[in-house]
Amino acid sequence: MCRMTIQQLAIAPSCDENSLSAGAHDAADIDLEVRRISAGYRGRKSVLNDISLHFAGPGLYRLDAPNGTGKSTLFEVLSGFLPVRSGEMLLNGETLTAARLLREITLVRTQPQLVPYMTVRDNLLLCASRFGTDLSKALGRAREFGLAPHMQKIPSELSTGTLRKTWLVCTLQSDRPVLLLDEPFDGLDVEASELLVDWLKSLSGSRLVILIAHTLPQRLRVAEKESSVV
List the chain domain ranges: 3-12+30-229
| Ranges of H-type helices in the chain | 71-78, 98-104, 120-131, 135-144, 160-171, 190-203
Cα separation values, 208 from 54, 142, 144, 178, Å:
12, 23, 23, 5
Q: What is the pTM of this model?
A: 0.90
Peptide bond into 58 cis (omega under 30): yes
- Give me the pLDDT at residue 34, please: 94
- Give me the pLDDT at residue 226, please: 56
- Give me the pLDDT at residue 170, please: 96
- Give me the pLDDT at residue 154, please: 98
- Give me the pLDDT at residue 210, please: 97
**pLDDT tens digits in sequence order for the chain, 230 residues long:** 457 899 999 988 876 655 554 444 457 899 999 999 999 888 888 889 999 999 998 999 999 988 888 999 999 999 989 989 999 999 999 998 888 888 899 999 999 999 999 999 999 999 999 998 899 999 999 999 999 999 999 999 999 999 999 999 999 999 899 999 999 999 999 999 999 999 999 999 999 999 999 999 999 999 865 555 44
- Give me the pLDDT at residue 45, please: 87
DSSP character at residue 27: -
Looking at the domain that runs over 3-12+30-229, which CATH code has it been given?
3.40.50.300
- Give me the pLDDT at residue 15, please: 63
